[in-house]
């Protein structure tokens, strides 16, 4: 492929890798809130589990973001 010959492969890889961070964070929050909402419907405890799931999803998303940042820092030190 042409972009590999030009040396642009790293920039595309970085764009995809860092572009997925937002999607991963949003998905974590959405999944946590959805699971909490479903538990609330089952137990008739609205909105307690949804809020708890939202916070747990956000915490999981930020933990994932932290891991990505640590890996990126390690890679930049290796170069």
Q: According to the model, what pLDDT value does residue 9 have?
A: 62
Which ranges of the chain have pLDDT less than 50? 1-3
The reported pTM is 0.75
Domain boundaries, the chain: 33-79
Q: At what angle do helices 9-43 and 48-78 cross, to 10 degrees?
A: 160
Give the distance from CA 49 to its chain's centroid.
21
Give the distance from CA 65 to its chain's centroid.
6
Q: According to the model, what pLDDT value does residue 8 have?
A: 59
Q: According to the model, what pLDDT value does residue 76 have?
A: 83
Q: According to the model, what pLDDT value does residue 1 have?
A: 43
Query: What gap in Å lies between CA 11 and CA 3, rounded to an integer?
Result: 10
Dihedral, CA atoms, 67, 72, 73, 76, nearest 10 degrees? 160
Q: According to the model, what pLDDT value does residue 20 have?
A: 85
């Amino acid at each position: 492929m042409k972009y590999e010959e030009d040396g642009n492969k790293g920039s595309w890889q970085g764009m995809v890798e860092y572009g997925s961070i937002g999607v991963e964070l949003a998905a974590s929050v959405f999944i946590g809130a959805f699971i909490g909402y479903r538990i609330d419907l089952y137990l008739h405890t609205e909105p307690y589990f949804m809020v708890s799931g939202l916070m747990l999803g956000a915490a999981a998303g930020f933990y994932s973001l932290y891991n990505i940042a640590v890996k990126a820092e390690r890679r930049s030190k290796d170069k």
